[in-house]
Structures are given as structure tokens and as C-alpha cells.
Structure 1
Amino acid sequence: MVGIQSSKRVQSFAPIRQEEVSRMIEKISSLSEASEIVNLTEFLANFARLNVCRTAFGKRYEDDERSSSRFHKLIREAEAMFTTFFFSDYFPSVIGWLDKLTGKFSRLEKTFKDLDAFFEEIINDHLDPNKPKSEREDIVDVLLQLMNERSFELTLDHIKAVLMVILIAGTDTSSAMVIWAMAELMKNPISMKNVQEELRNVMQHKGCINNSDLVGLEYFKAVVKETFRLQPATPLLIVHETIRKSTIEGYDILPKTLVYVNAWAIGRDPENWSDPEKFMPERFLGSSIDFKGYDFELIPFGAGRRICPGIHLGVANMELALANLLYYFDWELPSGVKKEDVDNDTFPGITMHKKNPLCLLAKKINKI
């Protein structure tokens, strides 16, 4: 995964991110001119899926209605399976048979086979010697190259597994984080004013913002960190399993023990954070604390060897979308809605999505 998710490789996908952000901004601009409400949740979910598909597969499924319908159905079904309760996960030798009786097991098998066939088509398409030469490499190209070079012990099944992670984790988490950031900023107008002033003062009416423009923006970076602290996309991270016996503070941890890391609780621990329930980006101004796995009071991506391999790509996608939304538009709540009405209700699942769509009015400030 090093060759895929390195900073240099992530930068090579920058033109794709730029194009998809520009498309999103243009569509929101049309709604802004008509004074229509913008469903940001829908826009950002669409942006994340298209961006990840072009980056990973080299295809933009929105351009083909039939392929788009199939693709979105696969995504929805896979996400549903991730959030479905299975008895066999907790009582495998006792009442796991109930999953077969309720039809959950057959549904899971069908979803797996459909995804496997989908990834098989993508890989075969990339292996086709008559395929037109693409302008830029996508992640499938990189993985196949690594397999052929034997740089890693990769098989086609390994590649399918990596694509599964990218498809589900890459689309879910980045869109969720931008929504949480916008929701918190709508509830905290002073923070919104500060971050927009910083962006607009530095950018000085330039065109579409790119990731390199954001390097020195201290307050914007603080907003991103505070969002990761208060509303991590994956509150319990991804479950880990121990591979050998170990002892931690006198407790024996046996092999195959499932370990859940509560990043949500860590980010709200009053021993580490003052006013932990308050959205306050200022806490990170002048602070060296970061979310890259070295500071254990802030680990939305995990830490150590099992840190999220998509951290660079995920942060790049989130920051680019958020920065452009804040730069181009002033945002208002619909008539009759107060900032106190913006709720933090969530859907159950691996990724913590805002339950109710974030619908706002956009007033365009800068030109594309």
C-alpha cells in the first residue's frame, strides 16, 4: 500500500480531485443563483464516490446511466451489510444458524459475489491489451504494476480486497467528515467567520483552491483537527484482532481477542481536553498535536503499523472539498431554522454519518 497512498502518489491524483470539486461548485452555484436549498449531504456523497471511482478505477460512473445505477446499488448494499447485525459475529457456535434462517447469510454471499464480479470486470478491463492508453494512472494500474514487478506478494484477490477498502472507506469517511465540519461551523458562526476570512485573505480571488494552497492556513487546519477530534468518521476505528498473547498493565490479552479502540471517547477525554464537548478550533492554534498517529489523544485514523493506509488520500479529499465550499460561498440556514436546530443525530454503522441531511442556502462570493 506504500506505493498507492504515499504523499507523492496522492498528489498525482490531484487533477481528478480538482475537476470533481469544480463540478460540484458549479452545480451548487446554479442552485445559489436560483436561491434554492442545497442538500450538502447529497452533493458531498456524490463528489466522494465520483472522485474515488476515478482515482481507483479510472472511470466516472455518472457518465453512463446504466453503470451508475449498478454501481450505486452495489455501494448501498455493501454499506448495508457492514451495519447489519449478524449473530454469528458474537455467537458463532451457538445461534449463528439464525443468520441463515433470516436470510442475512445468503444476502451477504450475494453482495460479495456481486462485488467480486464488479472488481473482476474492472481488473480485466485494465488487463485488456487493446484498452486505449489512459492519460494518467489509476490505483488499479499501480496495483497491477506492483504485482507484475513482484514488489509485493500481491494476487488478484489481494487487489480486489484493496479496491473494496478504497471503495467503501474512501467514499464514506471523507464525505461524512466534510458534513460534520460544515454542521459544526454552522452552529459556531465565529469559527465560520474566522476560517472564511483566512481562506479569502490568503487566496485573493484566485480560481479553484488546490491542496498545496492550504499548507500554511493555520486556522483552517485547526478546524480540520477539531472536527476529527469531536466527530471522528469511525468512532470505534476498525476492529483489530490480537495475534499473540500479551500482558498490558497486569491483564493477559489472549490471541484472537477482538480489540475496539474508542477514538470518539479519546477525543472527548476531559483529562486531555478542556471543554471537550465544545467545538473550539482555537485549541489547536500553536499546538503540535496532530492526527497522524503520533499523539495518542487524537487518533481518528488509528496509530502504529495498523494506521489507516488511506490517511493521505482521505485528508486530501476532505480538505479540498471543505476549503472550496467555504471559499466560494457564504452559508445560511433555511428560513425558520436556527443554529440550535442543527442536530448531531447519527446513523448506526462503522462510519458515523449525520442522520438528517445538512440542507443550507448558499450565497456565492467568489467566481470559479
Structure 2
Amino acid sequence: MIVHLILFSFTTLLIVIFVKNSKRKNPHPPGPPGLPILGNLHQFEANNTHVYLWRLSQKYGPIMSLKLGSVPTLVISSAKMAKEVLKTYDSIFASRPKLLGQQRLSYNGLDIAFCPLNEYLREMRRLSILHLFGTKQVQSFRPIREDEVSRLVKKISNYASSGEVIDLSKIMMFVASSFICRVAFGKRYEEGGLESRRFDQILHEAQAMMNGFYLSDYIPSLGWLFDKVSGMISRLEKNFKELDSFYEELIQEHLNKNRNKSTKVTQDIIDILLQVKNEQSSSVELTLDHIKAMLMIIFIAGTDTSAALVTWTMTVLMKTPLAMKRVQAEIRESVGNKGFVEEQDLQKLLYFKAIIKETLRLYTPVPLLVARETIGSCIIDGYEIQPKTLVFVNVWAIGRDPEYWDNPCEFLPERFLTCSIDYKGQDFGLIPFGSGRRICPGLSLGMATVESALANLLYSFDWELPPGMKKEDIDMDAFPGITMHKKTPLTLIANAIHC
């Protein structure tokens, strides 16, 4: 009897303590129920994850929790919540998860995109702004940009003269990769050549491996076996070795004292990083692995996002002929008969700038940004966020936030003619490049390339769809991945106006 009484008293005490603690603690954000072990992994769609998460947020709210295997996960889907994460609590949300593909290809986080929040990140950001992506350096690459855009116009002119259908998605990937190769490596690969095919193959596989699904990221105790049996581990290692060999060749070429530098317009990024290494002008003692990791993120991210943004902008303009007509009229009236849109012309093109902002709002190249990880706990909107939480900021959904945008699902570039909202990280309804400590350092370099290429495509050519195709036939589906590429290539016919 006494034993029963003691057990009853002890049970009652535990219940009281549990209830008290439950009342004292802030609840976790709401979210869909999951399964044992898998959590919500089984609910993720292979395509358009950002759209699926947006739909879930319509039910569970702009701050939503999931469980991906054993990993607690937070999804942010409104401008208000994004400001909390990227500004108010930026120091807590600014680290990175150690995802297998990203870590391996970045030499265990030695680059600037995937390294955790620490002193190394601060120093690499300082180095990047000072030596690689600052205003002075972006301007020094201008002759390369203009040369690549000039080659682009000439190439499309050749198609236009024969009335041939153009795969603009493919052409823009080549232009973006050519520009990155020249500014980063000091080399240009001719299209269709052996080196170009090798470059394209390595780039394509690296993008697949970086974006790939590794079960061990979410269920470490079981996932490593699945990843090994599925072949993902061996495929990742093979790609890493190919990339490492590629970087090593480029670096050794730059270290060769007999290298011909007479044709170079400016120092390329390998030159700059080797100079910083030799001069020991950084608080981080740079090694060749550091340089390779930095080349990786420039190589992959720089090519991907610029090409995707130009393609999406041209796609949405083909679906909205009145906007196309208006922006072409603005460019042609402003530039006149010069035959080429120079970079100093761009500042006068207000509607053109509005077109790009509206495309970034609706078809942002990186819809979920790069995943973050919390390094501490905090309270947001009354919900408790724990350390080691995986965080996705759904900027695709934020671009459709009805509390921030009027008519959020309509393509209305005019909205940006009467407001000062910009994409540089201070307006949380439009954050395609992130904000705070993790804002993309290559923003200025990438946008300079996009604006120059896009303005000249619109200035030099009138565009039409292939025979038998109507604007309603243009699909807006995207491939899965960190970068949102158009699933069906954009094929068009160009009619030369200014060449």
C-alpha cells in the first residue's frame, strides 16, 4: 500500500513538473505531422520544393517547423519573419549546416558560401570585398563583360540571318561560363572544343552533386549505407577529384613564370588569390585548398545564377508582350543608334531596372537561398527556435507575400517605378541574394553581367516564338536544385535590329 502511495505521489509530481515546464516554455512553430524516423522527408516533392513549402505555409503559417529525418527544420515564408531571421537574430541564424555534397566540394567549408559562422568567414568576406567583388574590381572586369556580350550579339545575329530557332537557355549558360572562366581563370574555352566540353561536363556534374540528396544528411545512423549503396558517395568523390585536378591545372599554369600575360586586360581571380597568399596580407594563412574552394563557389554559383536570371527575364517578357514592347522602346530611345548598350547607359533605364526587379521577385534564381543553421536559441513570434535547426528562407514565397505586395502573383514591373525597394538586402520583401552576414558577396559582379547581356539582347533584336507556338504555351516549370533553372529550354527566333 505504501509502495503504491509513493508511486502515485511520484507520478503526480512528474505530471505537475511536466505541465509547469510546458506552460513555461514557448511552443515550437506549427507544421505538418511526420512519420517515425523519416519525419517529413517523405512529403518532399522532387520538383519545385519551394512551391510545395509555400503551399504548406498557406496552412501552417509563415514560420513553420518540419522534421527532416532527425533534423529539426524551420521554413520562413514572409517578409516580416525574414526580417527577424536575417536582421534581428542574424548572428544566431548565420551559420551553415554540414551537408555532405556542399562540404566535400568546398574542401570542408573553406569557401565563403558554405563555411560556418566564425572568424574565418569574417576574414574571407573582408578579402572578397577588398580584392574580388568590390566596386573597383567589378569595374576592372568591364572590358571582359563587354567583349562577351559583343560575342553574344554577333552569335545571335548569325542565327537571325538564317531564321534559325535559338536555344537561349543553352546560349546564356555558355556566355555566363565564358565570362566566369575569363575573370576567374584568365581563359576562354571555345564552344564545342575539347576543353569546353570537359568544363561543361565537370560543371554539370558538380551542380548535380552539390544539389544532390544524401540521406546521411538527415538520418546519419542509416543514411551513410544508403548513400554508399546508391552510388552517391562514389559519384561525389569522382566529381571532387575531377574538380581538384581541374583547379590544380589552372593554379599551376598561373604559377608558371613563363606564362604569357601579354593578352590579359586585368588580373584574374587566381592571380589575385595567389598574390594575397604570397604577400600573407590576410589573417588566414591561405593554402591552395583555400584558393580551390573559392574557385569552386565562383565557378558554380557565378555561372548558374546569371544564366538563370537572364533566361527567366526573357521568358516572362515573351509571356507579357506589352512589357517587352515598352522596355525595348525605352532602351532604343535612350541608346539611339550606337549599336551597343554600354554600361553607363544602364542607369537611365528605369523601366528596364524595374523589369529585372520584378523578375527577381517572381522567378528568383535561388528560391530557398542557401540553407542556414542556428547556433543558439531565440524566440520569434512567440515560438521557440532551438540550436542546430536547419533553416530555409523561401524567398520565392516571400515574393508572393500578400502582406508586403499588392497583386503578388501578377507580373507588374510598374510597381518598382513608384517605390524605392531594391534587391540589396535591406528590403525584406525582395531578398534574392539574401541579407545580413550571408548576403551574396558576388551580387554586384553577377548583376553587372546580367544587365549588360539582357539590355543588349533587347536592344539588338526583336523576338518571337517558334512557328505554331503561342505565349500561353510557354511553361514556367523549374528543375529542382539550389538554382532554379527553367525546365523546358527557352527557344526563340531573333530578328536583328541593331548589330
Tell me if the contact between 1:18 and 1:208 (Cα under 8 Å) persists in the aligned partners: no
Post-superposition offset of 1:191: 0.5
The equivalent position to 1:260 in structure 2, one of 382, 387, 392, is 392
Question: What is the match of residue 441 of structure 2?
Answer: 309
SS in 1 for 2:348: coil
C-alpha distance after superposition, 1:202-244 (max 9, x if no partner): 1011132222210121100000100100000000001112233
Post-superposition offset of 1:286: 2.5
> In structure 2, how many angstroms separate the alpha carbons of the residues matched to 1:149 and 1:255?
39
Question: What is the match of residue 89 of structure 1?
Answer: 217
> In structure 2, how many angstroms separate the alpha carbons of the residues matched to 1:161 and 1:354?
27
> In structure 1, how many angstroms separate the alpha carbons of the residues matched to 2:293 and 2:167?
32
1:193-212 pair list within 5 angstroms: 193-212=325-344
Question: What is the match of residue 335 of structure 1?
Answer: 467
TM-score of the two chains, using structure 2 as the length reference: 0.72
SS in 2 for 1:344: coil
Worse-superposed segment, 87-96 or 105-114: 87-96
Does residue 357 in structure 1 map to residue 485 in structure 2? no
> In structure 2, how many angstroms separate the alpha carbons of the residues matched to 1:53 and 1:95?
36
Worse-superposed segment, 213-222 or 84-93: 84-93
The equivalent position to 1:100 in structure 2, one of 225, 228, 232, is 228
User: What amino acid is aligned across from residue 246 of structure 1 in structure 2?
Assistant: C
> In structure 1, how many angstroms separate the alpha carbons of the residues matched to 2:472 and 2:454?
22
1:146-295 pair list within 5 angstroms: 146-152=276-282, 153=284, 154-295=286-427
Does residue 46 in structure 1 map to residue 178 in structure 2? no
> In structure 2, how many angstroms separate the alpha carbons of the residues matched to 1:237 and 1:51?
23
The equivalent position to 2:143 in structure 1, one of 15, 24, 45, is 15
> In structure 2, how many angstroms separate the alpha carbons of the residues matched to 1:61 and 1:8?
26
TM-score of the two chains, using structure 1 as the length reference: 0.96
Tell me if the contact between 2:358 and 2:413 (Cα under 8 Å) persists in the aligned partners: yes
C-alpha distance after superposition, 1:67-120 (max 9, x if no partner): 222111101111121232211111112332110011110110111111111111
Does residue 140 in structure 1 map to residue 270 in structure 2? yes
> In structure 2, how many angstroms separate the alpha carbons of the residues matched to 1:124 and 1:248?
50
> In structure 2, how many angstroms separate the alpha carbons of the residues matched to 1:223 and 1:161?
34
> In structure 1, how many angstroms separate the alpha carbons of the residues matched to 2:395 and 2:154?
36
SS in 2 for 1:244: coil
User: What amino acid is aligned across from residue 101 of structure 1 in structure 2?
Assistant: V
> In structure 2, how many angstroms separate the alpha carbons of the residues matched to 1:64 and 1:177?
24
List gaps (5 residues or longer) in structure 1. none
Worse-superposed segment, 253-262 or 340-349: 253-262
Worse-superposed segment, 96-105 or 150-159: 150-159
Tell me if the contact between 1:54 and 1:60 (Cα under 8 Å) persists in the aligned partners: yes
Worse-superposed segment, 122-131 or 217-226: 122-131
Tell me if the contact between 2:361 and 2:430 (Cα under 8 Å) persists in the aligned partners: yes
Tell me if the contact between 1:56 and 1:163 (Cα under 8 Å) persists in the aligned partners: yes
Tell me if the contact between 2:369 and 2:434 (Cα under 8 Å) persists in the aligned partners: yes
C-alpha distance after superposition, 1:236-264 (max 9, x if no partner): 00111223333333433333322111010
Post-superposition offset of 1:193: 0.8
Tell me if the contact between 2:327 and 2:351 (Cα under 8 Å) persists in the aligned partners: yes
List gaps (5 residues or longer) in structure 2. 1-127
User: What amino acid is aligned across from residue 255 of structure 1 in structure 2?
Assistant: P
Aligned length: 367
User: What amino acid is aligned across from residue 323 of structure 1 in structure 2?
Assistant: A
Question: What is the match of residue 36 of structure 1?
Answer: 164
C-alpha distance after superposition, 1:290-320 (max 9, x if no partner): 0000101100000011101110111111111
C-alpha distance after superposition, 1:333-368 (max 9, x if no partner): 11111111111011111110001111111111112x
Tell me if the contact between 2:462 and 2:495 (Cα under 8 Å) persists in the aligned partners: yes
Post-superposition offset of 1:63: 6.9
Post-superposition offset of 1:64: 8.5
Post-superposition offset of 1:61: 1.7
Question: What is the match of residue 68 of structure 1?
Answer: 196
SS in 2 for 1:259: strand
User: What amino acid is aligned across from residue 151 of structure 1 in structure 2?
Assistant: S
Question: What is the match of residue 24 of structure 1?
Answer: 152
Tell me if the contact between 1:13 and 1:55 (Cα under 8 Å) persists in the aligned partners: yes
Tell me if the contact between 2:182 and 2:268 (Cα under 8 Å) persists in the aligned partners: yes
SS in 2 for 1:95: helix
Worse-superposed segment, 40-49 or 239-248: 239-248
> In structure 1, how many angstroms separate the alpha carbons of the residues matched to 2:310 and 2:141?
19
C-alpha distance after superposition, 1:121-144 (max 9, x if no partner): 111111122212252211111111
Tell me if the contact between 2:217 and 2:223 (Cα under 8 Å) persists in the aligned partners: no
Question: What is the match of residue 184 of structure 2?
Answer: 56
Tell me if the contact between 2:339 and 2:460 (Cα under 8 Å) persists in the aligned partners: no
> In structure 1, how many angstroms separate the alpha carbons of the residues matched to 2:489 and 2:140?
32
User: What amino acid is aligned across from residue 23 of structure 1 in structure 2?
Assistant: R
Tell me if the contact between 1:16 and 1:54 (Cα under 8 Å) persists in the aligned partners: yes
> In structure 2, how many angstroms separate the alpha carbons of the residues matched to 1:257 and 1:130?
51
User: What amino acid is aligned across from residue 310 of structure 1 in structure 2?
Assistant: G
SS in 1 for 2:492: strand
Does residue 299 in structure 1 map to residue 431 in structure 2? yes
User: What amino acid is aligned across from residue 116 of structure 1 in structure 2?
Assistant: D
